[in-house]
Amino acid sequence: MTKVGIVGATAYTSLELIKILLRHPESEISYLGTRRMAGTKISEIFPVLTKIFEMPCSPLGEGKVPGDVDLVFMALPPTVSMQFVPQFLDAGIKVVDLSADYRFAEKSVYERWYKVKHTDPSHLKAAVYGLPELFRDKIETASLVANPGCYPTAAILGLAPLIKRDLIDTDDIIIDAKSGISGSGRTPTEATHYCERNENLEAYNVGVHRHTPEIESIVSLMGNSDPFVYFTPHLIPMIRGLLCSIYVQLKKEISNEEIRDLFNNLYGGEPFVRLSRDGTFPKTKDVTNTNMCEIAVKVVGKRVLIFSSIDNLMKGASGQAVQNMNIMCGHNETMGLI
Ligand SMILES: NC(=O)c1ccc[n+]([C@@H]2O[C@H](COP(=O)([O-])OP(=O)(O)OC[C@H]3O[C@@H](n4cnc5c(N)ncnc54)[C@H](OP(=O)(O)O)[C@@H]3O)[C@@H](O)[C@H]2O)c1
């Protein structure tokens, strides 16, 4: 039995973690840490949990590391998470961090894009990027896993088979991405306000979104190249779900069938990646509330078009985090997940 804590218990991703962990036969939630709601039952914060799970939250802070925990999920914002991660690791507790604080091997890249000094460079060096389909072996023995961002998860899974075989120009990767609004977290802002988002669509953070260097750094690792990614995200008027439409330039002629074989070879044995039926394309609704990433590929002229869809709160966050926990703790990788 793995005793689990969640730090940032009031987060959207925390509620998803709780729902998954309550169905997980080999883990038990023993700690819910929050800065503001200590003493409050989690079911008062998320009424959906009333009569299902009513554990009171505990305070979060220096010297407040719980004794009875094997692994914590950090559901805190980037730049905040790294203030709390060291105290858990130093107490011998494994960490799956949902923020971006440990996703970059290069500290300077993180500091440039997040505009703060990294305060925990020693643990950053030991962190493993938690995309199981690519880094399963390293995750198995890691104490600190950096759970990938939602857009990078969909984008990297869509690109990996082509990059591993050196089939595309990595300096010409175009990613047009759309996400449900829960991707922006629970704190409302003008950009996420119902009146602004409903019946509306616009690009945001064009050319400056922080998931750009995350995608580039993993593409670079896989392909030994210096990639350039044109990444344009949009918030769409739905709560959850994410779709990346990716356009890449082929280095040589290759048929649709060969490309599908390539994807099938890499992902055939993966429990949480599937290829759409030939001629069909992924719908966000078909992966909602699951840990699945659905991908379609099609050769059009000199380009390959890739469509990759996930639930941002599941494969894009909490589902993948539990998948990582399962690997780190020696459980069946699919335990608690669909
Ligand atoms: N939402 C997604 O789809 C998604 C996908 C992938 C990754 N992520 C990442 O996962 C993490 C959690 O995301 P979320 O969307 O679930 O967040 P969220 O709903 O916005 O909740 C953020 C949590 O962080 C806590 N918090 C904020 N500032 C804090 C501080 N200074 N000290 C202590 N606690 C603080 C909040 O506590 P209070 O209640 O006290 O404010 C809340 O519990 C983020 O790093 C996010 O980037 C999210």
pLDDT digits (tens, 9 = 90+) for 272-284: 999 999 999 999 9
- Pick one of 3.40.50.720, 3.40.50.850, 3.40.50.300, 3.60.20.10 as the CATH number of 2-148+316-329: 3.40.50.720
Question: What six digits make up the tokens of 120?
Answer: 């925990």
Whose Cα sits closest to atom 44 in ligand 1? 77
Average pLDDT for residues 235-260, to the nearest whole number?
Answer: 97
Atom of ligand 1 nearest to the CA of 147: 7
Gap between the Cα atoms of 206 and 290, Å rounded: 29
Spell out a b/e string for 75-92, using b for 16 or more CB atoms within 10 Å of the CB, else e: bbebbebbebbeebbeee
Domain span(s) for CATH 3.30.360.10 in the chain: 151-312
pLDDT digits (tens, 9 = 90+) for 160-214: 999 999 999 999 999 999 999 999 999 999 989 999 999 999 999 999 999 999 9
Gap between the Cα atoms of 174 and 160, Å rounded: 14
**Ligand 1 centroid to residue 125 C-alpha, Å:** 23
Give me the sheet containing 229-235, strands edge to edge.
Answer: 202-203, 229-235, 168-179, 242-250, 303-310, 293-300, 273-275
Whose Cα sits closest to atom 43 in ligand 1? 8
pLDDT digits (tens, 9 = 90+) for 75-117: 999 999 999 999 999 999 999 999 999 999 999 999 999 999 9
Q: Is the pLDDT of residue 64 over 90?
A: no
Which residues contact ligand 1 via a Cβ below 6 A? 8, 10-13, 34-36, 60, 75-78, 80, 98-99, 149-150, 182-183, 185-187, 312-313, 316-317
**Ligand 1 centroid to residue 246 C-alpha, Å:** 28
State residue 184's pLDDT score.
96
So which residues are the catalytic ones? Answer: 150
pLDDT digits (tens, 9 = 90+) for 115-148: 999 999 999 999 999 999 999 999 999 999 999 9
Q: How many other CB atoms are found less than 10 A from the CB of residue 60?
A: 20
State residue 63's pLDDT score.
77
Confidence of residue 61 (pLDDT cuts 50, 70, 90): confident
**CATH hierarchy code of domain 151-312:** 3.30.360.10
In this structure, the strands spanning 128-129 and 94-97 are unpaired
**Ligand 1 centroid to residue 253 C-alpha, Å:** 45
Helix, strand, coil shares of the chain as percentages rounded to 5?
35, 25, 40
**Ligand 1 centroid to residue 10 C-alpha, Å:** 8
| Closest residue by Cα to residue 306 from 262, 271, 269, 265 | 262
More reliable by pLDDT, 61 or 137: 137
pTM of the full structure: 0.98
Mean pLDDT of the chain, nearest integer: 97
Phi-psi region at 179: left, alpha or beta (left = phi > 0; alpha = psi -120 to 50): beta
Atom of ligand 1 nearest to the CA of 78: 45
Atom of ligand 1 nearest to the CA of 8: 43
pLDDT digits (tens, 9 = 90+) for 256-272: 999 999 999 999 999 99
Confidence of residue 6 (pLDDT cuts 50, 70, 90): very high
DSSP secondary structure string for all residues of 119-149: S-HHHHHH-EE--HHHHHHHHHT-SEEEPPP
Give me the sheet containing 71-74, strands edge to edge.
Answer: 58-59, 27-34, 2-7, 71-74, 94-97, 144-146, 128-129
Radius of gyration of the chain (CA): 19
Percent of the chain with pLDDT strictly greater than 70: 100
State residue 225's pLDDT score.
85
